[in-house]
Amino acid sequence: MKLLRIAFGLVIVFAASWAAARVATDKRRSGHQDMGEALQKMQDDDTANPGMLFVQLGGQFWAKAAGAADKSCADCHGSAATSMKGVAARYPAIPQGAEAPLDLEGRINLCRTENQKAERLPPESRELLALEAYVAHQSRGMPIAPPADPRLGAFRARGAEIYRARQGQLNLSCAICHDDNAGKKLAGVTIPEAHPTGYPIYRLEWQALGSLKRRLRNCLVGIRAEAYAYDAPEYVMLELFLMDRARGMTLESPGVRP
Amino acid sequence: MDRRRFLAGTAAIVVLPFGPASATPEAMAEAIRKVVGDAAVTEGRVTLDLPPLIENGNTVPLVVSVESPMTVADHVKAIHVFNEKNPQPNVFSARLSARNGKATVGTRIKLGDSQKIVAIAETSDGKFWSASADVIVTLAACLEEST
Amino acid sequence: MANVLVNAPKTAKRGAVVEIKALILHPMETGFRPGTMGKIIPRNIIERFTATWNDAEIFSMDMSPAISANPFVSFFAMAAESGTVRLRWTGDEGLVVEERVAIAVE
C-alpha cells in the first residue's frame, strides 16, 4: 500500500512537471525532426513511405475472418476509420475486466483469443504488425493522449524507474542517452529524444516494419543488457512512461526512421 | 583501427571464400564499358540527386534527371546507375522514350559504404552523358544483433 | 492481391507530363547475406519493372540486388490518350505482379 502511494506521488510529480514543461514552449522533438530532408519526405509521402504497404496489408487482415468464431475485426468494429480513431493515441490501457495494462499488440491478441477464438499472433509477425499499423494509422495526426485511469499510475512509475535505471555491461540507462545526451551524435546518427510518436515504424536498418518493443530490445542489446522476454510486462510499463512523456505530441504512424 | 572496422574486416575474411568479389572502381569501369562500348562519355546534362549525408545505407533515395526536350527526334533512351563498392557494380538500367515527357527517374538503393556513384544517360543520337557523386554513408548506432 | 501502392493522377490534360510512383512489398534479398546459421540466404529480387500505357511500353527498369527492400520507382509519362497504365514486376521465384490504374485524358 505504501509503495502504491509512493508510486502515485511520483506520477503526480511527473504529471505536474510535464504540464509545467508544456506551459513553457514545447522543446520536445520527434525523431522525425532529427532526420534529413530526404527521409522526412519519405515518411510524409504516402506512396513513398514503405510503412503504408503494411497499413494496406493491415486493412486486408482487418476484413478477413479468423478463428473458430469465423469473425473479422470489421464484423465487430465496423470501419476502423471511426472505431479505431484515437485508440493508438491513448494505448497502453487496461481493457475492460482486466487488471494489467496492455499495449496495442496485446489488445489485438486479446481480441484474437477472446472474440475470434483464434491463436495469438506471434510477436513481430507480419500480420500482427500490419494490424497494429492499420489501427495506429487511424490516429495519425492526433495528439498522444494517455488515459486518466488512476490504476495506470503504478505501472507508469515502474516504467519511469526502468527508464532511469542503469543496466547492461555498458552500465547505461535510457535516460543517459535520451535525456542527458539527446541531440548529440552516436556514430553517425543523432541521438533522438525517444518519443514513441511513429510506431510501428519502418526502420531503414531493419528494412521492415517493427514495433516499439523491437526498438526497445535493440536499445537493450545496444547497452549489452539482456532484453526482457517478448511477453514481459516491462515493455508495457516503459511504453506507458514514454507515451506520458510524449503526451500532446503528434502521432505519425507509420513513421520512417533510419 | 576501431572495433567496428576490425569486426567488419574479420567478417570479410570469414565470408570471402564463399562470397563474391566486391565491385571495385575497375569493375565499375568495366560495367560502364559494357554499356557504352567505345563511345565517349561526356560529363554534363545529368543530375544525380542523393542526400549529402546518408543516415542509413539500406535505403538511399536517389533521383536521376537528364536535360532533354524528350521529343521523338531528341530524347533520352536509357539511364544507367553504377557504384564502386557494392558486391556488384550495376544498380539499375532504365529505358525511356519520348513518351516520358521528362527524363527523371527515382528509386531507392543500398550502399554498403561511402563511395562514388555514377549515372550515365544515353540520348537518341547515340551520345552518352554522365554525372557522379561521392556519398558518405554513416554508420548506424545500436545495430540489431540476431538473437 | 499483392501489396502494391501506386500513385498516378486519375485525370490529366492532353499532353501533360504526369508523375507515376509505385511501391511494392518485396524483400529484395541480395543473395550475398549470410543468415543466422552462417548460410547464405538465397537471392530473391525483382529483376524487372515495366510500365505500359494502353499496352505500349513507356518505361522499364532492370533492377539489381542494390535496389532497396520494398522497391520504390518513380517516373514520368506524357498523357497522350485516356487509358490504362499497367505496371508489372517480375523476378526470382517466379514473381509476377501486375497492377493497373486508369487515367482519363481530357
- Residue A183 has φ and ψ, to the nearest 5°, of 95, -20
Which chains neighbour B (Cβ–Cβ under 8 Å, 3 or more pairs)? A, C
User: How many residues does this entry show for chain A?
Assistant: 258
Question: Residues near B7 by Cβ (< 8 Å), separated by ≥ 6?
Answer: none
Distance in angstroms (rounded) separating the CA atoms of residues A102 and A240: 10
C5 in Cβ contact with A56 (< 8 Å): yes
Instruction: Map out the domains of chain B as residue ranges.
Output: 22-137
Mean residue pLDDT of chain B comes to 83
- pLDDT for position A152: 97
Inter-chain CB proximity C68 and B58 less than 8 Å: yes
Compare CB distances from C32 to B20, B90, B146 and report the shortest one's residue: B20
Question: Which tens digit of pLDDT belongs to each residue from A114-150?
Answer: 999 999 999 999 999 999 999 999 999 999 999 999 9
Question: Which tens digit of pLDDT belongs to each residue from C22-77?
Answer: 999 999 999 988 888 889 999 999 999 999 999 999 999 999 999 999 999 999 99
Instruction: Map out the domains of chain A as residue ranges.
Output: 2-257
- pLDDT for position A186: 84
What share of chain A has pLDDT > 70, as a percent? 91
Chain B hits for A38, Cβ within 8 Å: 51, 61
Please report the number of interchain residue pairs, chain B to chain C, with beta-carbon separation below 8 angstroms. 101
Mean residue pLDDT of chain A comes to 91
Task: Give all domains of chain C, ordered by start, each with its CATH number.
Answer: 4-105 (2.60.40.10)
Task: Look at A3-7, A158-162, A203-207, A254-258 and tell me which has the smallest mean pLDDT.
Answer: A3-7
Distance, in angstroms, between A64 CA and closest chain B CA?
Answer: 32
- pLDDT for position B114: 87
- pLDDT for position A58: 97
Residue B121 has pLDDT above 70, yes or no: yes
A174 is catalytic: no
Q: Which of C81, C11, A80, A25 is nearest to A72 (CA)?
A: A80
- Residue A209 has φ and ψ, to the nearest 5°, of -80, 145
Inter-chain CB proximity A36 and B51 less than 8 Å: yes
- Any chain A CB within 8 A of the CB of B73? no
Q: For B78-83, what is the mean pLDDT?
A: 96
The CATH fold of domain A2-257: Cytochrome Bc1 Complex; Chain D, domain 2 (1.10.760)
Spell out the alpha helix ranges (H) of B16-54: 25-36
The CATH fold of domain B22-137: Immunoglobulin-like (2.60.40)
ipTM of the predicted structure? Answer: 0.93
- pLDDT for position C33: 85
- pLDDT for position A26: 85
Question: Residues near A139 by Cβ (< 8 Å), separated by ≥ 6?
Answer: A84, A85, A86, A87, A88, A89, A251, A253
Compare CB distances from A56 to C5, C22, C68 and report the shortest one's residue: C5
- pLDDT for position B14: 36
Among all chains, which residue has been given the C-alpha cell 545495430?
Answer: B143
